[in-house]
Chain A
């Protein structure tokens, strides 16, 4: 199964991180990606630029409504994502727990819907 891991952290806290601190975090991310790739578990993933450069788009009654900022104002912001292959939710949870931002942020694990097998709410 494929799982999308949405990585949330506090942008304010992240901005305060020192150069060496950042280097250590990026190195840890790199290692995890390489390790997952080697096992064929890494499908994709990226870091996102902060919500200060986000744009929100809605179409209402045929009219485009464009606003600045993220969809929801929250204490933690979406900072990036991993898309992984995992045998089951327990394996996905184990991978999520190794994402560096899990230690001070939050990882939301969402199974990818497969056509014809969509989630019944």
Chain B
């Protein structure tokens, strides 16, 4: 995924005219630097300049200077520090020229302050702190949730506004406006650029983890939109999860979330067939699961549980780990999974968890017991529109050989499901049942 449209355009233009191979190799290194470091450099500039837009603009200018100077003078030993320093000086010039009359005094003062600020001595430490600060700012609870998600993707991950709007299926102008409003609120409401104090950290971290998990789910569960963009969302969420668990190693829930995402993502190649059809867990080809991700995820979950994590991510990750480590669907430790769903239900009740728990009970004890639980849920009004409930009932009825009732439940689920892949799956199951019930035994 391209980090920044404008510079890449400049890059490809330069590429077209570039004659020497040396130049091509320089550009490849430059592109790599641009891709891998822009997020961190931007984070540092936002701290120094206290302004998202100014930081973005100045970074672009610094890249433009680098493109002119580095091929002739050689790439500096520490390109990141060079870019930060160049962007900072560009900002000082810009602020001194201050065009907006009413803010002129303020900008001159800011320029003076910037000019005397020493270059940081503890550079590496400052840089990783900057990323963490930026994440907490973008995920501030006073911003609307959709703005938190968009701003994190744009600013921390460096994904273009066009790509974010494609991933969330909203017009580019709407997404651009959402980002402008969010940045405006950060500035006007005085949202600080800071890692919260120790006593606030737990609460605020929950909010950050939720944003990361939403980004992951958007990539993992969304039915429509560009498949490549969706996969990239999962990868970005995992990358964010790594940053958080790396920078906050003592926060067990952050480790658990990373583990949960890795375990889900390990099944990415098995959960959709070549024809684009949904494949349920018990029918997936387990040789397609990514073992190294399962191992890493499982280790993270074990560590998190040992450190006392009992939150929504830790419990879900423990369930995912039990599934991922079962050699075959039959080997799945359903009693343990049912117990974990019981625990989840006590603290984080939701329709999805209710239905999943009933399915786990069906597998651990008996299909009838699971079905009885689902029948109970059907009585609840608030679950009336929830398509996974009739879908789960249909599946249990099918396994029990109660075909007409199963078909009826599949038809009910089809009236509620909106996701194309899920609808295709439900229709396939319904067709199978109708065919089987008509065929003579």
Name A's B-contacting residues (CB within 8 A): 1, 3, 86-94, 111, 116-117, 119-120
Q: A1 contacts B190, CB within 8 Å? A: yes
A-B contact pairs, 15 of them (CB 8 A): A1-B190, A88-B190, A89-B190, A89-B191, A89-B192, A90-B200, A91-B192, A94-B200, A111-B188, A111-B189, A116-B102, A117-B103, A119-B188, A120-B184, A120-B188
Per the bound structure, the CA–CA distance linking A111 and B194 in Å amounts to 19
Per the bound structure, the CA–CA distance linking A92 and B141 in Å amounts to 13
Q: A88 contacts B103, CB within 8 Å? A: no
Q: A88 contacts B188, CB within 8 Å? A: no
Q: Which residues of B contact A117 (CB under 8 A)?
A: 102-103, 188
Additional A-B contacts beyond A90-B192, A111-B188, A111-B190 (19; CB < 8 A): A3-B190, A87-B190, A88-B190, A89-B140, A89-B142, A89-B190, A89-B191, A90-B191, A90-B194, A90-B200, A92-B190, A93-B142, A111-B189, A117-B102, A117-B103, A117-B188, A119-B184, A119-B188, A120-B184
B98 at the interface (CB under 8 A from A): no
Per the bound structure, the CA–CA distance linking A116 and B106 in Å amounts to 11
Q: Which residues of A contact B140 (CB under 8 A)?
A: 89
Q: Which residues of B contact A89 (CB under 8 A)?
A: 140, 142, 189-192
Name B's A-contacting residues (CB within 8 A): 102-103, 140, 142, 184, 188-192, 194, 196, 200
Q: Which residues of B contact A93 (CB under 8 A)?
A: 142
Closest A residue, CB atoms, query B105 = A116
Q: A88 contacts B184, CB within 8 Å? A: no
Closest A residue, CB atoms, query B140 = A89
Given the known A-B contacts A116-B102, A120-B184, are A90 and B196 also in contact in the complex, defined by CB atoms under 8 Å? yes
Q: A87 contacts B192, CB within 8 Å? A: yes
Q: Which residues of B contact A92 (CB under 8 A)?
A: 190
Q: Which residues of A contact B192 (CB under 8 A)?
A: 87-91
- Distance of B207 from chain A, by nearest CB (Å): 13
Q: Which residues of A contact B200 (CB under 8 A)?
A: 90, 94
Closest B residue, CB atoms, query A113 = B188
Per the bound structure, the CA–CA distance linking A90 and B103 in Å amounts to 25
Per the bound structure, the CA–CA distance linking A88 and B184 in Å amounts to 15
Per the bound structure, the CA–CA distance linking A9 and B409 in Å amounts to 48
Per the bound structure, the CA–CA distance linking A89 and B103 in Å amounts to 21
Closest B residue, CB atoms, query A119 = B188
